[in-house]
Amino acid sequence: DAGVIQSPRHEVTEMGQEVTLRCKPISGHDYLFWYRQTMMRGLELLIYFNNNVPIDDSGMPEDRFSAKMPNASFSTLKIQPSEPRDSAVYFCASSTGTGAYEQYFGPGTRLTVT
Partner 1 sequence: SQELEQSPQSLIVQEGKNLTINCTSSKTLYGLYWYKQKYGEGLIFLMMLQKGGEEKSHEKITAKLDEKKQQSSLHITASQPSHAGIYLCGADRTGTASKLTFGTGTRLQVTL
Give the footprint of partner 1 on this chain (CB under 8 A). Answer: 4, 31, 42-45, 48, 50, 55-56, 91, 93, 95, 97, 99-108, 110
Q: How far is the CB of 87 from partner 1 (least distance, A)?
A: 15
Q: Which is nearer to partner 1, 48 or 65 (CB)?
A: 48
List % helix, strand, coil for the chain (3-state, nearest 5). 5, 55, 45
Q: Which is nearer to partner 1, 86 or 106 (CB)?
A: 106
Chain centroid to Cα 113, Å, comes to 17
The whole-angstrom separation of Cα 112 and Cα 71 is 28
If one counts every other C-beta atom within 10 angstroms of the C-beta of residue 57, the result is 15
Q: How far is the CB of 61 from partner 1 (least distance, A)?
A: 15
